Amino acid sequence: MTLNGRSFLFAALGCGLVFIPAVGLLAQQTANPSASAQQQAQPASSQGQEPDPLKRERSDKEKFAAQKAVRQELKGAYKTWLNQDVLWIITDEEAKSFKNLSNDEERDAFIEQFWLRRNPNPDSPENEFREEHYRRIAYANEHFAAGKPGWKTDRGHIYISFGKPDSIDSHPSGGSYNRPMDEGGGETSTFPFETWHYRYLEGVGENIDLEFVDSCQCGDYHYTIDRSEKDALLHVPGAGQTEYEQMGMAKKADRFKGGMENLGTGPMSSSQQSKEFDRIEQAAKLFAPPPIKFTDLDNFISEHKLLTGPPFPFDVRTDFIKVTDSTVLVPITVQLKNRDITFVTKDGVSKGVVNILIKVTTLTHKTVQSQEDTVSVEQPAELLEKSLNHQSVYWKALPLLPGLYRLDIAIKDVNNPDHVGLYGRSLNVPTYNDEKLATSSLILADEMNIVSSREIGAGSCVIGNTHICPRVSANPATPVTFKRAQELNFWMQVYNLGIDDATKSNQATVTYQITQTATGAVIFEKELESKDLGAHSDQLTVEKSLPMAGLEPGKYKVTIKINDTISKQEIAQSAPFVVE
């Protein structure tokens, strides 16, 4: 069971009620029925026994007090589970039943059955619905917070219920807006708004458009079925007129004569008014729990299905970065060649779409992380042929505990459903001991830059306050390749430096060098003091950009050495690369 992002075991699984059959008593009563009847006829007082106070009938006041006490027991993780974790997917009947449970054992059993009822694959040892649900909550909190947690916002609500939309038409600054004819036409100015498009939602319909408006201009986009709500000039006389209003065929005051929307009169206004109840019905259906996406890809991983078409090749790189003493961030980089993606050209734009499913499981096949995303690659049609020589990168960082796992990745070319690629490898997440000098992975990239404060720790290829997208090779034994016109960027963190008790600062030397693989000659070397990177911290980040114009084509190696004079420890990390 997962509660508030943490994993718990069901204590109720080892508990139960033991029923003792009254066979002996029944036999005695049958053998001597008259004696039994006499015993039953005698009052309790004549047998020298007092009435059992636990069996007496409770008064209405006592019943009410007991029910109130039961409701008060709902606190802590159980209260969070009901009022936050499953708020958008639990039914009213289920919530009422859960509130009326009297002890934690019953609640644990209820929660277990709640997830089992929603599991698309009941025979699977893990619950795909639950894993995906908590991933969506984390995403909503990261991307949709607006003075309140992201899961509480309307966009967070929809994302948790239905996942990522197939496309988003975003207008973060509002501004000038040309209305479509079904909204009356004409030009106006709008508040910030977004339109989320889903090609299909089970239980809702096809081609679903959901509109969110930030009318307070505070980042809190709320869902609306009134398309006129985004019109910032709606209540300004003479401004933001529709086409009919500009031609004198209608008045702006006519918009406010009732109805769900205050759209102006236009060529298609009569047909749109008849669809108002359809939008109300659609809004009601949005509260139904959605199905899991990418079940076909999950079958390839869990059932080891054979590929029916040509394999979809892709390259994978994993890195390890310490977060806490017990948590390691594992960035996973998936690199696709544009030439392997099927592009469909429409309206002068060529678009390729790839579904990606990542699963991390333990040796006992329990899923600990599950991530699914859709990656779109778009190019102007006239530039498509040139872009086929480029590559596209998908990046996702997963927090994991140290240990041995299995990493499975499945990808599918949406425009060519038989084009599927699979990847499966062991994943050994290291343990970072407190007293042992250690480093993260050494990452090489052709681009590296500092991000704004709003992007720190969020977004693709962002680690801390640095955007660095790793170069990926076909296999770990093959060096990554750079062009001479590019820059060599490298990034690495150092952990557990010694701190001097007197000065409260570290004292280590950081040396990075580039050597030629064939000859072992040192092409470039520089030494820094750890104090220059952060004097009072036991953790440092080493990041450097070097031009490669002076390097001849060939094979090289970048090495970073750390010599800690306080703890008397040394450590080094190396990464090979090729210059073309």
Residue 29 CB burial class (10 angstroms; 0-12, 13-18, ≥19): middle
CB 209 within 8 A of CB 162: no
CB 490 within 8 A of CB 558: yes
How many residues comprise the chain?
580
Q: Give the pLDDT band (50/70/90) at residue 43.
A: very low
The answer to whether residue 19 scores a pLDDT higher than 80 is: no
CATH for 433-580 (2.60.40.3880, 3.40.50.2300, 3.30.590.10, 3.30.70.120):
2.60.40.3880
* Percent of the chain surpassing pLDDT 90: 31
For the stretch 201-248, pLDDT in tens is: 877 888 889 999 998 888 889 998 888 888 888 888 888 888 778 787
Domain boundaries, the chain: 131-251+263-285, 294-431, 433-580
Q: Give the pLDDT band (50/70/90) at residue 96.
A: confident
Two structure tokens written together for 213: 């408006």
**For residue 514, what pLDDT is reported?**
93
What is the rounded CA–CA span in Å between residue 2 and residue 118? 14
CB 170 within 8 A of CB 191: no
Angle of helix 128-143 relative to helix 154-162, nearest 10 degrees, comes to: 160
The more confidently predicted of residues 1 and 96 is 96
**For residue 284, what pLDDT is reported?**
77
**For residue 12, what pLDDT is reported?**
36
Highest mean pLDDT among 34-43, 176-185, 520-529 belongs to: 520-529
The more confidently predicted of residues 253 and 497 is 497
The answer to whether residue 494 scores a pLDDT higher than 60 is: yes
**For residue 286, what pLDDT is reported?**
78
**For residue 69, what pLDDT is reported?**
59
**How does DSSP assign 63-123, residue by residue?**
HHHHHHHHHHT--THHHHIIIIITTTT--HHHHHHHHT--SHHHHHHHHHHHHHHH-S-TT
Query: What superfamily would CATH give domain 294-431?
Result: Immunoglobulins (2.60.40.10)
CB 335 within 8 A of CB 392: yes
C-alpha angle with apex 490: 486 to 491, nearest 5 degrees?
A: 145
CB 471 within 8 A of CB 482: yes
**For residue 179, what pLDDT is reported?**
83
For the stretch 149-170, pLDDT in tens is: 999 999 999 999 889 999 999 9
The answer to whether residue 263 scores a pLDDT higher than 90 is: no
Instruction: Quote the pTM value.
Output: 0.53
Which range is least confidently modeled, 104-108, 132-136, 188-192?
104-108
Cβ-based neighbours of 426, under 8 Å, separated by 6 or more:
404, 405, 406, 407
**For residue 180, what pLDDT is reported?**
82
Segment 5-10 shows an average pLDDT of 40
CA distances from 98 to 81, 103, 114, 132, 163 (A): 11, 10, 10, 22, 26
CB 379 within 8 A of CB 339: no
**For residue 260, what pLDDT is reported?**
67
Segment 103-130 shows an average pLDDT of 78
The answer to whether residue 70 scores a pLDDT higher than 70 is: no
Q: Give the pLDDT band (50/70/90) at residue 278.
A: confident
**For residue 400, what pLDDT is reported?**
86
The answer to whether residue 91 scores a pLDDT higher than 90 is: no
The answer to whether residue 72 scores a pLDDT higher than 70 is: no
Cα of 506 vs its chain's centroid, Å: 37
**For residue 55, what pLDDT is reported?**
60
Cβ-based neighbours of 277, under 8 Å, separated by 6 or more:
none
**H-type helices in 332-426, by residue range?**
384-387
What is the rounded CA–CA span in Å between residue 133 and residue 123? 19
Task: For CA atoms 291, 292, 295, 297, give the dihedral sign.
Answer: positive
Angle of helix 104-118 relative to helix 92-99, nearest 10 degrees, comes to: 160
Local structure of 254: helix, strand or coil = helix
Q: Given the structure tokens 């894993």, which residue do they identify?
A: 131
The answer to whether residue 1 scores a pLDDT higher than 50 is: no
Segment 300-319 shows an average pLDDT of 82
**For residue 291, what pLDDT is reported?**
46
* Percent of the chain surpassing pLDDT 70: 81
What is the rounded CA–CA span in Å between residue 240 and residue 243? 10
Q: Give the pLDDT band (50/70/90) at residue 127.
A: confident
Residue 537's nearest CA partner among 506, 562, 570 is 506
Segment 334-341 shows an average pLDDT of 93
**For residue 117, what pLDDT is reported?**
73
Segment 507-526 shows an average pLDDT of 91
Q: Could you give the dihedral angle defined by the CA atoms of residues 151, 156, 158 and 160, in that order, rounded to the nearest 10 degrees?
A: -60
Mean pLDDT of the chain, nearest integer: 80
What is the rounded CA–CA span in Å between residue 319 and residue 400? 12
The more confidently predicted of residues 92 and 134 is 134
Q: Give the pLDDT band (50/70/90) at residue 446.
A: confident
Q: Give the pLDDT band (50/70/90) at residue 52.
A: low
The answer to whether residue 46 scores a pLDDT higher than 50 is: no
Residue 471's nearest CA partner among 328, 326, 319 is 319
The more confidently predicted of residues 10 and 95 is 95
Segment 30-41 shows an average pLDDT of 43
For the stretch 536-563, pLDDT in tens is: 788 888 999 988 888 899 999 999 999 9
Q: Give the pLDDT band (50/70/90) at residue 334.
A: very high
Which range is least confidently modeled, 212-216, 233-237, 264-268, 526-530?
264-268
What is the rounded CA–CA span in Å between residue 39 and residue 50? 15
Comparing 294-431 with 433-580, is the CATH topology the same?
yes
